[in-house]
Structure 1
């Protein structure tokens, strides 16, 4: 019995230390440098499309928001999940479908107020994905307007509130960073 306990204890210590949550790099996800570069480029494209929507809302440019929302939809449809358990794969697929639905809602209207409403929901979903699979060479910030509780993601610490750019452009604070 004692040798089994030692092996079990050793395995627990080994796997316990290596099972810490981490952000996967593209190379860890796919295994070859070429595929890793493609995956990294797709991640960067997804973030750029999201940031394009956010920046369009800062400028109150609903037509530009439509363009970037369509780009985000295309990128999300191309994105493949790697090295996930069945449960995590199902969760990720559901989240992606929700994000596509929100991007489609933004793309299907020219009403800036409706776009902003959907952007808040999209931002929450996007942050949950970015926390796990962010591009390697990019810093991102979760920003929140304390007066409304709305959130968005930015690649700059400077606050530019996409929900109330006329009255509260600089209203917000950085709540998290990756």
Structure 2
């Protein structure tokens, strides 16, 4: 009887260790997937901003769709119910703004919507930003229009022809 108990204990210990290892592997995969989602969201926003610098309304529409899709795929983690509701509401607003940008080919209308999108994106940037990414909040002093950049160098997406280097860094993450 003792031998049977010992064998059962050894088997259960091995099973428990296998489950723990499996959970650790799954957790690591989920963390990696989440970081990839964050990077995709950030890269889609930055590509959108770059399209405004080149005044390419078709690329703006395309990247707005990509941003919209990557935001739809993202789910918040480690938030209380109130924070989760607030984050979900703001994410939905970003998705709607990205949809508005993609629905028009008029670069000036796209830029106007991008202003709102950028302000709301900055609010959620700490949740979207991939671990090894630095983001800067930049502002055009002439219009107070804001945008995010992964570089301190100013490239104004609102007035690229007349005031490409007009702006300043206001904050960073």
Q: Same fold (TM over 0.5)?
A: yes
| Shift in Å, 1:83 | 1.6
Question: Larger deviation: 130-139 or 48-57?
Answer: 130-139
Q: With structure 1 as the length reference, what TM-score do the two structures score?
A: 0.81
Structure 2 spans left out of the alignment, 5+ residues: 1-25
The SS at the match of 1:148 is coil
The answer for the alignment partner of 2:66 in structure 1 is 71
The SS at the match of 2:156 is coil
| Shift in Å, 1:120 | 0.6
Match 1:39 to one of 34, 42, 52: 34
Are 2:102 and 1:145 equivalent residues in the alignment?
no
The SS at the match of 1:156 is coil
Match 1:126 to one of 121, 125, 140: 121
1:40-72 Cα shifts (integer Å, max 9, x gaps)? 000000011101110000000000011110001
**TM-align CA RMSD:** 1.0
Distance in 2 (CA, whole Å) between partners of 1:122 and 1:171 is: 20
Structure 1 spans left out of the alignment, 5+ residues: 1-30
Is the 2:42–2:128 contact (alpha carbons within 8 Å) kept by the matching residues of 1?
A: no
| Shift in Å, 1:174 | 0.4
**Which structure is higher in helix share?**
2
Q: 1:132 to 1:75 in 2, by over 3 A?
A: closer
Are 2:165 and 1:170 equivalent residues in the alignment?
yes
Q: With structure 2 as the length reference, what TM-score do the two structures score?
A: 0.83
Distance in 1 (CA, whole Å) between partners of 2:161 and 2:129 is: 31
Number of aligned residue pairs: give it: 148
Bigger Cα Rg: 2
1:93-122 Cα shifts (integer Å, max 9, x gaps)? 110110011000100000000000010100
| Shift in Å, 1:132 | 3.9
Q: How does 1:16-165 map to 2 (within 5 A)?
A: 32-165=27-160
Runs of 4 or more above 6 Å deviation: none
The answer for the alignment partner of 1:27 in structure 2 is none
